Structure 1
């Protein structure tokens, strides 16, 4: 009997060791508790009701490492429903955590919801924001920084510091009044000013040591306007765009369109004094400008003189700059293999989708549309309706894959697509303003820009070797932008204008990426803490 007892003890020890290894090898968890409240803010010198997270405006930033699990408990102390979305986080197999009205029920006043997000195979600079109504005009946005794992090489030496800049336009009207303007059929007025990290003119100071290099992560979190970023007397070395390491070109200034994020390296190589950090509007008749201060630690001289000017309404220089932003093919991304090992340009798309924006009047009110369809929010989130097979909420195919030139109409627009398709999407813009488009859950390759009407011959100008992969792209006036995208993420994903008035008034739709496999390897089931509303109220979910 003794050998048998020894064998059992050995097996138990082995099992304990295996269990220990399994637990220790799991990707780390980072826990956050956020309390969302109203609070007085004065970003342009006028008292406004802001939306704060843990009493902060902007909200607290998130730092994570590739593959970390983020557990974010959000408590809503507002008097209205609330949701947070994550601009650029891809939610692999998990659109349940996307935080937009097509996938999630709102967090009602006095209630809470916990997001569970793994930043699977991601690095880079992103931000979060409130996705309901016009809450984005009141705050509740913040920076997200995803760092590379320690053993994965980064294509530049560790900087002496890492700063984030959340910049964008701002209105003195509160978010309730802005929303009423839109619902009454009017577009938004021109913004009243610009903010950097929630503050106006010279409201922030970034301290640097002479001779050292620093990383600045800049996101355009505004509502309506492209911006230009520059630092007086200093060059900007671009190193990352929304999770992709780039060829390290140097610029005197950078155009950053709505919803976009960039990382630049700045070397403090000038005489010791203070310098302006400048953000100004692009493509606007009235140029708005705001500043922060780059302070040399050994400086005894404050900023002075005129603020350095930047480009204004010129489109050509912006297009030229956009074409110089390319993928660093030799750099590792979130994994040790080179970014260029995925040969996106050698894959033939299975189909072409063309999306044309427009600004129709429907029932006498201003609306915005994609392929003539102006999106209407249903009473039940699309993802829940799809999961529970609730009829009458939407139908796949209600969003046409090509413009028809017809009059605008209202519809809960959903386009169908199959898992593992590889698609070409062309954004066609016949309007006089720059458009900015975002696709939740995905990173895509921006293969081409061009003026006029896109045709099959336009493919001859595509960059099929080293264009950058990102999640938000601009489309210039009376022009087109083409992207390639691998549909490798099952779920219900929002495609929208990043101009928030256009998004609110219908310039968005959902892409249903579908597989019949039913496997958790392809898509997670509804989480056990999912909020249920509309026609999904009272339904039972499978444990997860």
Structure 2
């Protein structure tokens, strides 16, 4: 949108919003709008007691909370005041028919330093707990993330009483090294060292406090925003009533603690039913040889004592404990989601699949450097965002079918991998993990049913154990060491969508690809047109967008 520095910032912001209101054709004008103006800068803070340059949004880390309601339109004007290109992506926010707003390099040109870009999102038919984050390079290791909650419309019932308050917890691993130094380690062909610690809402041990009134119930939305490790979450002396996972209301089971893998989000209800004092809120790493932990404080407003003694320990067993917990997270068939109809009204298990895709991922050394691959292909970014190349029909940027549907058993190689898929196909995807570490996978633009997961090698006979009735629907799924996870997904969202490891080291070093969902209709009913404010770069420079000068 041009140079918006200094005194021009406010005027540029006003003009940008006015233009977007006049030309926005990607949203339903009858639904309300919310406007955000974000300035992305560096700032020095002390997450683990060590001075560090982090990425701030409007001077905040974590960034501002987005709170919206189903079907509302969001106009988010992002000014890049960093010295590097920048993008923000929306983890789990589906952007129906609108991958132009996805905020990853495969769909968007980065926002150059000193310039801005206005995202136009509609949270169409969605509710739930999510987060946003910076998607380029290793920016995610420097912060720049924040909570994103989508509330139900007033006419749609929620399957639990309104909580006394709604809190967001953004927890994850943290490195004391600058994000540029971390990137340099990876670029040199090496893996990252073990994280230096964990943080909760940008702070270290006991650095953040949540205040509650005795006898009341509170909602906690928890996201794992780290880059390399799964976590376990628990609150000393209190039970966690799970009510929602990434936009799906769950069976309301009670847990002492919950594993939350990379990129995942969930909601629990916590009742302040203990004696009036302070309690530890704990996050600790899972599936790591060394266990890191950090704490926040649950403070009763009439507290008689501060926290004391050691924080409560987490689960001591690994795969079996976590696997059984994951299987216990089920769909609440009678609850409404974004619409009044029950979640169980879509009988996903009775729909015949049209295709099976098996994705095996592993570590590889290519040209003497550490890489990661999917089905033998280690992704390398092209010089032009794939969505732009597809739209302008620029040849040579990528080729469809550049990643196979199943593992080949051959050696790994570098490629800009794009998989073609038919609009309205109904696909079974099996994630296979031959390694000794837990993996976490995310598909942009979609929610899918996690129909099965188990140890060992997947075979067609594994389908006999699928849950075809009340499997949880979510956008991120874990795959345990030497195990598999299977999902069913209805390909009803046209676009170029990123399929990636949520381990950001693996994602950066090639463990991702793009899924091109294509409709021959070329209709706005299936996919919105290219935004008039879309940035162009690479081989798309100089190409004109329709009506861009109007």
1:12 corresponds to? none
1:405-433 Cα deviation digits (max 9, x unpaired)? 11010000000001000000000000000
1:254 corresponds to? 258
Aligned pairs (5 A) from 1:294-373: 294-312=298-316, 314-373=318-377
Instruction: Please give the alpha-carbon distance, in whole angstroms, between the structure 1 residues aligned to 2:121 and 2:316.
Output: 39
2:163 corresponds to? 159
Instruction: Please give the alpha-carbon distance, in whole angstroms, between the structure 2 residues aligned to 1:519 and 1:24.
Output: 16
1:443 corresponds to? 447
1:45 corresponds to? 49
1:428 corresponds to? 432
1:119 corresponds to? 123
- After alignment, is 466-475 or 25-34 more displaced? 25-34
Aligned pairs (5 A) from 1:51-450: 51-312=55-316, 314-450=318-454
Q: Which TM-score applies when normalising by structure 1? A: 0.95
1:462 corresponds to? 466
Compare CA radii of gyration and give the structure with the larger one. Answer: 1
Residue in structure 1 matching 2:516, options 512, 515, 519: 512
1:121-156 Cα deviation digits (max 9, x unpaired)? 000000000000000010100000100001100000
1:425-465 Cα deviation digits (max 9, x unpaired)? 00000000000000000000000001111011000000000
2:198 counterpart SS class? strand
Instruction: Please give the alpha-carbon distance, in whole angstroms, between the structure 2 residues aligned to 1:283 and 1:305.
Output: 25
Report the alpha carbon displacement of residue 25 of structure 1 after superposing the two structures with TM: 7.5
1:530 corresponds to? 534
Q: Is the Cα–Cα contact under 8 Å of residues 527 and 543 in structure 1 kept in the other structure?
A: no
Report the alpha carbon displacement of residue 24 of structure 1 after superposing the two structures with TM: 11
1:459-500 Cα deviation digits (max 9, x unpaired)? 000000001100000000000000000000000000000000
Instruction: Please give the alpha-carbon distance, in whole angstroms, between the structure 2 residues aligned to 1:252 and 1:529.
Output: 48
Report the alpha carbon displacement of residue 542 of structure 1 after superposing the two structures with TM: 1.4
Query: Which contiguous aligned blocks of 4+ residues in structure 1 show a shift greater than 4 angstroms?
Result: none
Instruction: Please give the alpha-carbon distance, in whole angstroms, between the structure 2 residues aligned to 1:362 and 1:127.
Output: 33
Instruction: Please give the alpha-carbon distance, in whole angstroms, between the structure 2 residues aligned to 1:261 and 1:452.
Output: 26
Count of residue pairs brought into register by the alignment: 522
Q: Is the Cα–Cα contact under 8 Å of residues 282 and 313 in structure 1 kept in the other structure?
A: no
2:463 counterpart SS class? helix
Q: Is the Cα–Cα contact under 8 Å of residues 49 and 174 in structure 1 kept in the other structure?
A: yes
Q: Is the Cα–Cα contact under 8 Å of residues 283 and 312 in structure 1 kept in the other structure?
A: no
2:262 counterpart SS class? coil
Q: Which TM-score applies when normalising by structure 2? A: 0.94
Instruction: Please give the alpha-carbon distance, in whole angstroms, between the structure 2 residues aligned to 1:318 and 1:56.
Output: 34
Instruction: Please give the alpha-carbon distance, in whole angstroms, between the structure 2 residues aligned to 1:399 and 1:385.
Output: 18
Q: Does 1:26 align with 2:30?
A: yes
Instruction: Please give the alpha-carbon distance, in whole angstroms, between the structure 2 residues aligned to 1:219 and 1:349.
Output: 31
Q: Is the Cα–Cα contact under 8 Å of residues 283 and 313 in structure 1 kept in the other structure?
A: no
User: Which segments of 5 or more consecutive residues in structure 1 lack a partner in the other structure?
Assistant: 1-22
Report the alpha carbon displacement of residue 312 of structure 1 after superposing the two structures with TM: 4.2
2:18 corresponds to? none
1:332-377 Cα deviation digits (max 9, x unpaired)? 0000000000000000100100000010100011000000000010
Name the Cα RMSD after superposition.
1.0
Report the alpha carbon displacement of residue 117 of structure 1 after superposing the two structures with TM: 0.3
Instruction: Please give the alpha-carbon distance, in whole angstroms, between the structure 2 residues aligned to 1:208 and 1:42.
Output: 27
